[in-house]
Every structure is written in C-alpha cells, then in structure tokens.
Structure 1
Amino acid sequence: MMSGTEKKKVNRRTVLKIAGGTVAGLIVGGVIGYLYRGVTIPPAETITVTKTVTERTTVRETVTITAPTTPPPKKPIELVYWHHEAPSHRVAAHQKVCDLFYKETGIKVRQEVVLWGEAWTKTLAAIRAGTTPDFELSIPDLTLAAYLAGGLVPVDDIVKRIDEKYRIFENVKMTEYWEGHYWGVPVWEMVWTWIYRPSYYEKYIGTKEPPKTWDDVIEYAKKLTVDVDGDGKIDIYGMGLTGAKNLCTQEYVWNIMTTFGASVFDDEGNVVFYSPETVEAMRYYKQLWEYVPPGAMEWSWGEIELALAAGTVAQTSYFPAIQKRFYEMPDEKIRRDLAAAPMPTNRVQANLHYPNDAIIFTKTAEDPDRLEAVAMFLEFLHRPDIHAIITAEQEPGGFYPCNEAAIAPDAPFWKDPIISFYRNINEVAMECVKRGTLYGFGPKGLQNAKMGEVSGALILADVANRIVSGAMNIEEAVKWGHEEILRIVKG
C-alpha cells in the first residue's frame, strides 16, 4: 500500500438507528427469528411436463423433473415483486416462471417492472413509506443501499436451504454477506470473459489460441490493427475499450485490475487502491488504448457490441450476451465467428462478475405465511428447469446459473438453442462465473460499507478517463482516485 488508509465497517447499530424502532422491534420481538427456524420441505413427486425449444425449427421433447408438492396456503396469498428487466422477452420469462409457480403451489406472484434508472430512488422511498413489495430482484450495490436504509431482513435460512439442495457458488454467496448474515438470495449471474473473432486471429496472427497474458494481448492488438484495403486508413482495430466516465469503463478497469491482484479495499475495509498492482494494471490499460477505434472515449456497452459484430474491433473483454447478436446474423460464417476464453492475466486468474439477488423487506417478515411463500418462490427459481428459464430463456449469454445443479451435464440450461449453439463460449463463461470478483467484496464478503457510494461516484472510470485523455499520468491518476475514495469513506 502506497499511502494512508481509512476503514469503515458496516455498523448494524447505525443501521437500526436509521431504520427506527420498527425494525428494532421486529428483531427483538423475534419476527425475523422466523426466518432462522427450520422449514420442512414437502416430499417430492415426479411430474412430466412438455417443453418447446425453438431453434429455427420447433422441436418438442418430454422432460421428467422433480418438483416439490406444496399444500395449499392457509390463506390466499398474492406476492408482488419488483425487477428491473424491462425488455418484453425478459418480462415474458418472468411471467412464465410465475405461472408455473402458481400451477404447482396455488400461490400467485405478480411482477412489477421498475426501470434501473429509478430503482434506487423508488426502493429507498418505499422503505421510508412502508410501501415495499414483498421482495425485489437487485444487485449488490442496491442491496447494500436498502440494507443501510434499514429495509431488509437477513436471509440466512433461505440461502442455507437452497445451498444444501442446489449448491450455490461460494463467490456468489459472499457478495451477499456482511455483519455475520446474508442479506440477499442469489438468483442469477452476469459475467465477463475474453471475447474475440477467431477468424481474425487465424488470418492476422496465425494462431487459433487466445492470449494468455496482458503482454500477449498487446502483441495481438498490434497485429490486429489493420489497414485491410491499403487506403491508409485503419479498418480493424486490435482492442475494444472505453474511456468515458461511465459504468462500462468502470467494468473494464476492474476487469484488468482484478487479474493483477489489485483492489479498492482489503478485507479489513482499508482503502488500498493506490498500490503497485493498480498502477501496473492501468499501465496496460494505457498501452492498449493505442489500438482502440476513434471515438472510444465516449463509448459504452452498445458501441462495443456493434464494433465487435461489425468486425471493426477484433477482441475485447465483455459479457457473453453478445452471442445473441451473432446468433441472429444471417451469414452462417459470421454467426460462427465468435469465441470466448478466460481473461488474460499476469498474476491472478479472475474476472468481473455481477451476481443478481433477491432482497426481502422488513414488512414481509411481519407475516410468516407471506415470508414462507417468498422463500418457496426463491427456492423454486433455483430448480434446474426453472433456473434455465430465468437465465438462458430470459437472456441467453447475459444471465447465467448461480448453482451447480443448474449446470449439470443434462441440465435444461444447456438445451437452450443459443446456449447449445455456442456451447464452448458458455462453458468458458461458467468457469468465469465461479472465479468472478466484484469491487468492494472479497472472500469474507463485503469489505467496506461505503463501496456503494464509491461505485456510484464512478471513481475507477474517472481514473481511466484521466489517464487515456492525458489529463494525468498513471501514477497521478491512481493516487487521485485513492484520495477520492478516502474522502468518501471519511464522509
């Protein structure tokens, strides 16, 4: 570590002050204790369902699955949950899951879409007003904000019962863990891998092998920056990166940082951003900037996807969700010209991941029957046939399973037409899911309660922007970022 540190651990007593007497009363009164008691899972029965898979032609197959049989609820229950996936095909996947759950349990579940741009303000306002839904699908930043507002109950018992049955990935669970409890139930994963056009590797580098180190990436990028038609203008660029002060750039920065063992905080909550590891990672970021297309300073996710699909960028690190765009290409040759590999690394085999979770509000815990119904639904989401709907069917290559049972060799996830077409890409993606890291979280869980504010301030992206724009040299920019993080932590 190269300068002073400051730490700020999550303080549950502070949270209780924020939340007021209602939450404290729930905890003392033992309502939340209901969550920790053993819940008996009804015996399973074997049922047969018919599934339709579409892959340019329609194929029907019969799949035998094991599903819990649940007695009718003591009273009619209709659950309401918020999620933030507005595209119609994602909404349809959620509705399919809700309909199947109702058919098996008699419990109605109604989805409500809240756009990501409104998620924080609406969630925090609902906590203050006592108008929260029964649960909400979230990401760690939002989960932490809701926790600090005093709006959540711990979900240890639910995580335990799902984990025992389906085996949730350990690194995914730990992004939900702080102050001795789990505060979110993992529901699916998002992950970054190395993405490239293999035909370009063969034509311009003479290999089919992806780069193993960042030094390899630089050498590849040089050879892949090509004036194809000899008119003096570059037609293919050797690297896809972004330099704007936005979340996409922040993801790119972390994706390189984590492979050097760099971090924002250590496990004690100290700020450790200004380190030799971060400086080295950003040195490679700056070198790779020589091989990006003009205009990349303003790019975000959409421009990266378009450039890779158009063939103007040969390689990048990115979400494998781009496979859907390639799958829809009319040209079979281009459709198959996409590959993935583990992230290049100079020290640590790692990559960015974004677990998505479900959070349960204090209001829900006031009704034990309602709380148990939510637990049943979240467990239902992890069943392999249902998990395939909420991942591969909802957004193939965008959302991935977060438990072992869902990726067994014969699991329905692998039978999705797009997932199966790009089987190798998705096998790589699942490897990356299991070793994914997220800034602000470590092997022991949340490292510092201020991580949400640090993330929201886009400091990692700002550091990259200052470096690639020439506003600061690498050492100055990293030191500036460290001081900004310290300022937030002390505030």
Structure 2
Amino acid sequence: MRFDKRYYEPNFSIHKGKEKRAVKRAMTLFVLAVLLVLVAACGGQPQTVTVVETVEVTKEVVKEVVVTPTPAPETGPRTLTFFTTEADPPQLDALAEIIDEYHQEHPDVFIDVVTGTPATRGERIATLLSAGSDAGIFEIEAAFTREWAEAGFLLPLNDVFEAIGGVDEYVPGSYFELNDTVYALPYATSVYGLWYRTDLFEEAGLEPPTNYEEVLAAAKALTNPDKGIYGIALPGSTNASVNFFSTFLWQQCLDYYTPQGELIFDDPAVLDAIKKWVALTEYAPPGFETWSWGDQITAFVTGSAAMSVYAGRLGVRIPEQAPDLEGKADIVRLPWATRPDSPYVTYGSWSRIAISANTRYPETAKDFLQFFLSGDRLARYDATVIGHMVPPTKSVAKLLENWDSDYARNHSDWLAFFNENAAYTNHPANNMGSVEGCNFVKKDYGPPWAGPVFSKGGIIDLMFQEIYINGTDPEQAWQDAIAKMKDVQEQWLAEHPDWQPPTY
C-alpha cells in the first residue's frame, strides 16, 4: 500500500512592519505686542514672535495576519489511493476499467487501488487519519462518519454533490451531510424485502402478506414438514438475527434508544414485539437457530422455505442456482406492521466514499470521485451485482432498470422495487433513534457504545440465542438484555465523560 504525504504550506504568517504616523502638533502663541506700535518702535521693547513647530512621532506596530495556505499545484504526475472492500473479481474489473478511462482523459493521474476487509476497514483508515497521513479516497463506515467530519478529517464534497445533481438526484438519506456540508457520497445500498413463492401462495389460495397477522397465517399454512417445506426462513444467530428483528421493532413504532441516547428498549411494548417475532420462528426450518446471512438464500433456492427475508442477491441466485423457480418467486415490502400508523422501515446501509481532508491533491481526488459516481460508470459498477447493489441516484437507477442483461429484462419490476424502497433503509448500529413515535427519520449517528449491543455475539444476538436454544422465557431474556445494555452504556459514558448527545 502506498500513501503520499501531503505537502503543507504554513497555516499562517506573522508579519512585522513599521507604520509611520506623523502627528503634527501646532502650538501657536499669540502675544499682542500692540501696546502701541509707536511704543515698541520708540522704547526698544522686545517683540513677541509666533513660532510654529512641527514634531514627527514614529510608532512601531506589530500585526498578526492570517494567510490562507496556497494548495500544492495539481499538475504533473499525481498518484491517488483508492481504498475499497468491494473485492469480488467483477467489481475490481469494473473499477479497473473506470480508472483506465479516467487515466486516458488525465494521463498524468495514476490511481492505486488498495483492497481490505470490512472487519479492519475502520481501524485502518482511523490510524491513517489520526496520524495525519493522506488516506486518499476511501470507503467510510457510517459509524465513524460524523466523528471524523467533526474532527476535520474529511474533505467537504458539496461541489461534487451539486455537480452530480444534488438533492434532486440523490435518494434522501443516501449521502452524509453535517451542518450543510456534504462529507461522504454513496455508491450503493442493499434493500431487504420478503421473498415468497408465488406458486405455493396460489395453491394455498393466499395473497401476498401486507401485515404481521397475514405473514404469520401464511407461514403456518405453508409449513408442511412431511414435504420438507417450512413457512418462513429467519436467521436465529449473528448480527443477521439482530438486524432482521430490528426491522420488526421499528415497524412497531419502537427503537433501542432515543436520538439523544436514552435507552427505550425497556418499553413493555418491546417485549410484545419480541414474542411476536419468536412466534414467526415456529414455522422456520429446523436448525434456523444457528443460521446467518447466506442460509436465508439457501433455504429459499433449495425449496425448503416458502418465504425468506433478504435483499436483491437472492433474486440473482435464482437463475444461477434454482432456474426451476424462475417465474415462481416475487418480492414485497417487509410486512411487519401491526397498526395502521406503522412506519415502513427496512434493513440496509448506504456504502459511501469520502476523501481525506489532507490529501495532497484534493481537486484531482474530487474530480475522479465525480467521474466514478456519475453516468454509466456507476451503473456499470453497480451492475456487477445488479439488484443487490442499489444505486443512490435517480438517473443511474433508471439506467439499471433498462440494463442490457437477462436479469434486467426479466426482472425490471424487482429493480424498480429496490429503487423505490431505497429511502427506507436503516441500520441499528448506525442510526440512533431513527424511529420517534411512529415517524422514521434517519439520524446517521449510531450509539457510540453500539459494538457490544448489536454485533455478532452481542447482547441482542445472545438474547435470541437464549430464547431459541436454551428455552429461556422471552421476558427473562429481555430483562437480562436490558441490564446488560445499561451496564455497557454506563461503562462507556464513564470512560467518555465529555461526550455530548448529537443535536439535530
């Protein structure tokens, strides 16, 4: 990995100069020597003469002048670093193609692609930024974006944002903005919904579910262990379990914390939500207790589940792994509502890109970012996993709905579904208090103590493991989780006494 150190100009200069200020003091003495001109002439008395004296005073003044630094000239050979965790071969090939096109237009600009993993991305970039190193262009985690923006680590991107189309072009909530300054721009998200077998629903005389009671009834009706078919696939472990349950919690007008960080998971209504969620798992395939992300796809494409919660990747796998299900599957919004005013919220997190504030070539970095995120270039990049990588701009969304591929030709309705629901994605670790009352407003700021709560093996994950595997009563498991959540938050606050809740 190669990083350039920024060439710094001084932040300010102290200039000492002399200012000469001439102060003329005129003292005019008038003595009337006109007792009598004749007396003066005759008596030889002394005459009084008026004298004007000019005195020049010099004063030295020291002034401190702040001078705007002159950025390093952005000419000649320049190298930028682009850090990404999208390391699948098709994505890297598409990125390389886009970089080559940019290089053809800007032969002096070279872009080094550095790949990493999501698990180490945050720590890696944080180390570079805190050391004052040039982190270049990089994918940024939502959990760190606000903190890094406030610390001055991120380059403002308002001009790039506006050049691409601004608020009229971008999906609401897709980009990160703080105090009217845009610091991170998105390239994709994933939109989760409920996949269902249309053939099985038709055979059972069922309509696609629109609320919790309907999905529970469908899961029960379609469960037939003798045929190896179960009503619904739900993950019982890891952060997949946490995130899918979170969508259910939000649609009950509930959340884990307020926007100011006050714990509200102890609301008695939360226990009712947990019991309703657990009731759905009665119709899940055996072994769901240990399932994570990929198991949701496997259960559906192998025919063992009539419904499954997942994003667009499941639809991509159908023609690849279960062509016999083509024309027998569809997707609807997550139907968890139990009241008329339930907000619609689904799972998903925008993948965004930022630029280091002290990058050596800020204008060149912004120019490439604009090139990458606009036109058919972003469409080509997102099309590497079409349907799963949902674009952030309206123009690219339309391009992909009409993309030259079998998937787009056969399932443009699925692509339209993902585009229409991209604005309703949410993530429990990245958005603290996004549901207030029954209103969903994305906050783009997660609980700083979120790790032990929402991660794999965290408090919420273990709460459900206790229920599913150990048979712990849901109320007891919930109470235990509340106590642990309070302990984690209190410990974090004690270690960070200066922390202040965000304001909106």
**Structure 2 length normalisation: TM-score?**
0.73
Q: Do structure 1's residue 422 and structure 2's residue 394 form an aligned pair?
A: no
- Note closer, same or farther for the CA distance 1:462–1:171 as it changes in structure 2 (3 Å cut): farther
What's 1:217 paired with? 215
Give the Å deviation of 1:397. 1.9
- Give the whole-Å Cα distance in 2 for the aligned partners of 1:351 and 1:85: 23
What's 1:138 paired with? 140
Give the Å deviation of 1:218. 0.8
State the one-letter code of the partner of 2:480: W
What's 2:354 paired with? 359
State the one-letter code of the partner of 1:403: T
What's 1:53 paired with? none
For the 8 Å contact 2:171–2:392, the answer to whether it is kept is yes
Give the Å deviation of 1:288. 0.8
What's 2:234 paired with? 241
- Segment of structure 1 superposing worse, 101-110 or 113-122: 101-110
- Note closer, same or farther for the CA distance 1:94–1:483 as it changes in structure 2 (3 Å cut): farther
Give the Å deviation of 1:479. 3.6
Instruction: Please point out which of 359, 374, 378 is paired with 1:383.
Output: 374
What's 1:464 paired with? 464
- Give the whole-Å Cα distance in 2 for the aligned partners of 1:235 and 1:273: 37
- Note closer, same or farther for the CA distance 1:363–1:279 as it changes in structure 2 (3 Å cut): same
2:255 aligned counterpart, secondary structure: coil
What's 1:56 paired with? none
- Segment of structure 1 superposing worse, 85-94 or 102-111: 102-111
Give the Å deviation of 1:102. 2.3
Alpha-carbon displacement from aligned partner over 1:171-228 (angstroms, at most 9, x marks no partner): 223xx3457654422221112111112112112x223x3100111111000111114x
- Give the whole-Å Cα distance in 2 for the aligned partners of 1:301 and 1:421: 25
- Give the whole-Å Cα distance in 1 for the aligned partners of 2:485 and 2:160: 34
- Note closer, same or farther for the CA distance 1:145–1:328 as it changes in structure 2 (3 Å cut): farther
- Give the whole-Å Cα distance in 1 for the aligned partners of 2:271 and 2:464: 11
Q: Do structure 1's residue 296 and structure 2's residue 285 form an aligned pair?
A: no
For the 8 Å contact 2:235–2:241, the answer to whether it is kept is yes
- Note closer, same or farther for the CA distance 1:32–1:180 as it changes in structure 2 (3 Å cut): farther
Give the Å deviation of 1:286. 0.5
State the one-letter code of the partner of 1:127: L
2:265 aligned counterpart, secondary structure: coil
What's 1:396 paired with? 386
Q: Do structure 1's residue 432 and structure 2's residue 421 form an aligned pair?
A: yes
- Note closer, same or farther for the CA distance 1:258–1:163 as it changes in structure 2 (3 Å cut): farther
Give the Å deviation of 1:476. 3.2
What's 1:77 paired with? 78
State the one-letter code of the partner of 1:334: L
- Note closer, same or farther for the CA distance 1:134–1:323 as it changes in structure 2 (3 Å cut): same
- Note closer, same or farther for the CA distance 1:89–1:279 as it changes in structure 2 (3 Å cut): same
- Segment of structure 1 superposing worse, 431-440 or 289-298: 431-440
- Segment of structure 1 superposing worse, 470-479 or 348-357: 470-479
What's 2:154 paired with? 152
- Give the whole-Å Cα distance in 1 for the aligned partners of 2:151 and 2:91: 29
Equivalent residue runs for 1:304-315 within 5 Å: 304-315=296-307
What's 2:48 paired with? none
- Give the whole-Å Cα distance in 2 for the aligned partners of 1:116 and 1:294: 30
- Note closer, same or farther for the CA distance 1:264–1:284 as it changes in structure 2 (3 Å cut): same
Instruction: Please point out which of 112, 118, 121 is paired with 1:119.
Output: 121
For the 8 Å contact 2:125–2:135, the answer to whether it is kept is no
State the one-letter code of the partner of 1:285: W
State the one-letter code of the partner of 2:118: W
- Segment of structure 1 superposing worse, 132-141 or 396-405: 132-141
Alpha-carbon displacement from aligned partner over 1:227-258 (angstroms, at most 9, x marks no partner): 4xxxxx450011111111x1211221112122
State the one-letter code of the partner of 2:402: W
Instruction: Please point out which of 350, 361, 374 is paired with 2:365.
Output: 374
1:194 aligned counterpart, secondary structure: strand
- Give the whole-Å Cα distance in 2 for the aligned partners of 1:318 and 1:224: 19
1:82 aligned counterpart, secondary structure: strand
For the 8 Å contact 2:400–2:415, the answer to whether it is kept is no
Q: Do structure 1's residue 321 and structure 2's residue 313 form an aligned pair?
A: yes
For the 8 Å contact 1:151–1:361, the answer to whether it is kept is yes
- Give the whole-Å Cα distance in 2 for the aligned partners of 1:32 and 1:288: 61
Give the Å deviation of 1:149. 8.0
For the 8 Å contact 1:263–1:272, the answer to whether it is kept is yes
**Structure 1 length normalisation: TM-score?**
0.75
Structure 1's unaligned 5+ residue stretches are: 1-21, 35-71, 228-232
For the 8 Å contact 1:384–1:412, the answer to whether it is kept is no
For the 8 Å contact 2:146–2:178, the answer to whether it is kept is no
Give the Å deviation of 1:474. 2.8
- Note closer, same or farther for the CA distance 1:436–1:276 as it changes in structure 2 (3 Å cut): farther
For the 8 Å contact 2:94–2:380, the answer to whether it is kept is yes
State the one-letter code of the partner of 2:343: V
Q: Do structure 1's residue 286 and structure 2's residue 278 form an aligned pair?
A: yes
- Note closer, same or farther for the CA distance 1:171–1:473 as it changes in structure 2 (3 Å cut): farther
For the 8 Å contact 1:178–1:446, the answer to whether it is kept is no
For the 8 Å contact 2:157–2:366, the answer to whether it is kept is no
Give the Å deviation of 1:150. 6.9
Alpha-carbon displacement from aligned partner over 1:2-54 (angstroms, at most 9, x marks no partner): xxxxxxxxxxxxxxxxxxxx9xx79xx898999xxxxxxxxxxxxxxxxxxxx
State the one-letter code of the partner of 1:94: L
State the one-letter code of the partner of 2:90: H
- Note closer, same or farther for the CA distance 1:455–1:177 as it changes in structure 2 (3 Å cut): farther
- Give the whole-Å Cα distance in 2 for the aligned partners of 1:33 and 1:240: 59
For the 8 Å contact 2:224–2:230, the answer to whether it is kept is yes
State the one-letter code of the partner of 1:108: F
1:171 aligned counterpart, secondary structure: coil
For the 8 Å contact 2:129–2:135, the answer to whether it is kept is no
Structure 2's unaligned 5+ residue stretches are: 1-7, 13-65, 435-440, 493-504
What's 1:68 paired with? none
Higher helix share: 1
For the 8 Å contact 1:166–1:382, the answer to whether it is kept is no
Give the Å deviation of 1:82. 0.8
Equivalent residue runs for 1:178-189 within 5 Å: 178=178, 181-189=181-189
How many percent of aligned residue pairs carry the same amino acid?
A: 18
- Note closer, same or farther for the CA distance 1:161–1:306 as it changes in structure 2 (3 Å cut): same
For the 8 Å contact 1:200–1:314, the answer to whether it is kept is yes
- Note closer, same or farther for the CA distance 1:330–1:433 as it changes in structure 2 (3 Å cut): closer
- Note closer, same or farther for the CA distance 1:30–1:390 as it changes in structure 2 (3 Å cut): farther
Larger Rg: 2
2:367 aligned counterpart, secondary structure: helix
**Count of paired positions:** 412
